[in-house]
Amino acid sequence: MRSRPLLVVGSLVALLAILAAVFIVSFRHPMGPQAASGRTLLVVGAENEYASVLSQIGGRYVHAVGIMSNPNTDPHTFEASTVDASQVAGAAIIVQNGLGYDGFMQSLEAASPSPRRIVLTVADIVGAKSTTPNPHLWYRPGTMRAVAGRIAEALIQRDPAHKSYFLQRLTAFDRSLKPWQQALQQLKAVASGTRVAVVEPVADYLLQAAGLDIATPWTFQAAIMNGEDPSPQDVATVEGLLKQRQVAVLVYNFQAVEPTTEALLTLAKQHGIPVVGVYETMPRGFDYQRWMLAETRALRQAIVQHKSEVLVP
């Protein structure tokens, strides 16, 4: 499925290289998943938005790494490397999305089993069923608050001496989400019920939280997400939304533009429909909450001021 990257180990050589990296990490860190100083924990987010929250809660007592962290590449074609394997092998805490989106993590974790490693799966934290069709859980407004709480618990479990520090940073993180929450409510107040078109369900949770009406058929969104050709009927429906100006904005995945979506972008421009590019991987220069705030403001600008907006990664 296109929006659910898998670990690709193309040969026995690649597999042996990953296992070798795991061995090296184990040899260099006989005391367990800690940095050489013995004072910081290596913590890993399968996606860099989760690494951002790990870093914000752990502060000076963690070294946070994001496995998928390049907003200029298509996350659907991601392949794990030996460096990724070594980071997973040395991690004290891992946060992964689940729902098949980052299934490569299970392979990496299985290659370096550790009874002390704490693995947090976001889908489990927010109660998403295995049949949940949209895996982009970080766009749900309540997701990261719940994830941050579980991260704090995990950090306290691994480093109880700094419990008060982690709880203080959790409180600060919760407070830092308020500008985004306010922006969502402001967007909802001025645009609730506004019809929008999307090419993939990347930001659907955010759009729904703002009260926007997603006019694109789900079958079209799912086909594009999974790397399949949408039906001619669905293509005609989405094209009609743009040609007849039945939507206020087109939201597209900036990291996975292909011929079908390129054609929709062209149509939107031809018919004066503003476009907003969204990401699956957090752009550089942002933390999680400022990223979500920027995308929410971009949506408002597109709907209210009729201006296109794409964040620069």
Mind giving me the DSSP string for 60-124? GGEEEEEEE--TTS-GGG----HHHHHHHHH-SEEEE--TTTTTHHHHHHHHS--TT-EEEEHHH
Residue 154 parent element (H or E): helix 143-158
Beta-sheet strands, E only, within the chain: 41-47, 62-68, 93-96, 118-121, 195-198, 213-214, 250-253, 275-278, 309-310
pLDDT at 17 over 60: no
pLDDT at 2 over 80: no
More confident residue, 119 or 10: 119
Q: What is the mean pLDDT of the segment spanning 27-41?
A: 51
Least Cα distance to 46 among 80, 7, 95 occurs for 95
CA–CA separation, 106 vs 129, rounded Å? Answer: 18
Per the CB < 8 A criterion, the answer to whether 89 and 30 are in contact is: no
Rg (CA), the chain: 20
Q: In DSSP terms, which residues pair with 195 in a beta bridge? A: 213
| The residue to which tokens 């920027």 are assigned | 294
Q: Any idea which of 30-39, 67-76, 270-279 has the lowest mean pLDDT?
A: 30-39
Give burial (CB, 10 Å; 0-12/13-18/19+) of 74: middle
Structural domains present in the chain: 12-176 (3.40.50.1980), 179-310 (3.40.50.1980)
- pLDDT band of residue 3 (cuts 50, 70, 90) is very low
pLDDT tens for 79-95 read 889 999 999 999 999 99
pLDDT tens for 155-183 read 999 999 999 999 999 999 999 999 999 99
Q: What is the mean pLDDT of the chain?
A: 88
Give burial (CB, 10 Å; 0-12/13-18/19+) of 85: buried
- pLDDT band of residue 60 (cuts 50, 70, 90) is very high
pLDDT of residue 26: 40
In the chain, pLDDT over 70 holds for what percent of residues? Answer: 87
pLDDT of residue 10: 40
